[in-house]
Structures are given as structure tokens and as C-alpha cells.
Amino acid sequence: MKQVLIVDDNKDIVDVIKEELFEKNLVIITSNNGKDAFEIIKNNSIDFVISDIRMPDGDGVELLRNINSLKDKKPKIILMTGFAEISKEEALKNGCYAFLKKPLDWEELSNLADKLLKE
């Protein structure tokens, strides 16, 4: 069973994403910051990460950099934001699998999850 890590400091967003992914037969793990999320990634077999960019204690861009520094299996990362801390082009160039704007398009997120589950 594939594992997804949802990282966002907004519990309501985490809950909605969990609800959207519930029927996809995934193990869903959550974190509310990039620092803790990276520890989870180092200690678990995470297949993909859905992360907010703006968070206290380690933002999504820092998490992307940390994931890129791993030598072992690296999970794919989907970044989501309502602000422009990093451009879509820059995020994709730096190893981001997909870049979503908030408010999220739930169908787009669901389709991305389906695509990642098939890989």
C-alpha cells in the first residue's frame, strides 16, 4: 500500500485533502510543518508528499530542498500555495512533481494522486 504525507499547518486543509484521498487505498500520514515532515520522510517509505509552502518550522521549499538532498528513494512532491514565494517554473526545475495554486482544484489533485499511484 502506498503512503502519502500531507504537510500543512492548516488542519482544515489537511482534513479536506485526507477526505479527497480517502478512497484511493493509501496510508495517509500528516504533519503540520516541514521540519517534522522531513523526519517522517527519512524514517518511513513515503511515496509522495503534498505540502503547503508557507508554514512555521520549515516551509515547503525547504522541505523540497531537503528531499532533494536524500541519497535513497525520494518521494515525489506536490507543492501548493496561495502566494508566490516560488514560481511554478522554479519549483518544477528544483524537483517538484507538480505545483498547485490555492484554492485547490480537487479534481486536479485527485488526478495527480491517481497518476502517482500508477508510477
Is the bond into 103 cis (omega within 30 degrees of 0)? yes
pLDDT tens sequence across 90-109: 999 999 999 999 899 999 99
Rg of the chain (C-alpha set): 13
Number of structural domains found in the chain? 1
- Condensed to tens digits (0 to 9), the pLDDT of residues 2-40 reads 999 999 999 999 999 999 998 999 999 999 999 999 999
Burial of 117 (0-12, 13-18, 19+ CB in 10 A): middle
* Beta-sheet pairing, 76-81 with 27-31: unpaired
Q: How far is CA 36 from the centre of its chain?
A: 13
Check pLDDT > 90 for residue 44.
Answer: yes
Name, in order, each residue with C-beta under 8 angstroms of 90's C-beta and a sequence gap of 6 or more: none
**What's the DSSP call for residue 53?**
S
How far apart are alpha carbons 31 and 29 in whole angstroms? Answer: 7
Domain that holds residue 113: 3-118
Domain of 31, CATH number, reads 3.40.50.2300
